[in-house]
Amino acid sequence: MIAVVFNKEMTKRDLLSLQKNLKEKNIILVFNMMKFTRNKLTYIDFSIDFGDGFSGTSKSEITKSKEIGFVRDYNEDAAEPFVVGELK
């Protein structure tokens, strides 16, 4: 399982490091837009492609009350094999 939640504590360096780590697993994360206030993430517009038929996009303000990101569950019996955007 791969799960990523973008939060206000993330810096541009964190996001680029995450992007690089995913690319090593042949997962393509593209940042269409990132906004920061005092070096902290406040908005993200991204797309994710797992290369196995699961891909998606999402854009949102980053707040403490919202969880924005993506989850890819590789288990065959996964209730939700892929979620992108607002996470529960």
Q: What is the pLDDT of residues 7-43, one digit of tens each?
A: 999 999 999 999 999 999 999 999 999 999 999 999 9
Q: Is the pTM of this model over 0.85?
A: yes
Structure tokens at 7: 């939060």
DSSP annotation of 15 reads H
The set of residues, in sequence order, having a beta carbon less than 8 Å from that of 78 and lying 6+ positions away, is none
Task: State pLDDT tens for residues 28-87.
Answer: 999 999 999 999 999 999 999 999 999 999 999 999 888 899 999 999 999 999 999 999
What is the extent of the structural domain holding 42?
A: 2-86
Domains of the chain: total: 1
> In 5-88, which ranges are continuous DSSP H helix?
12-23
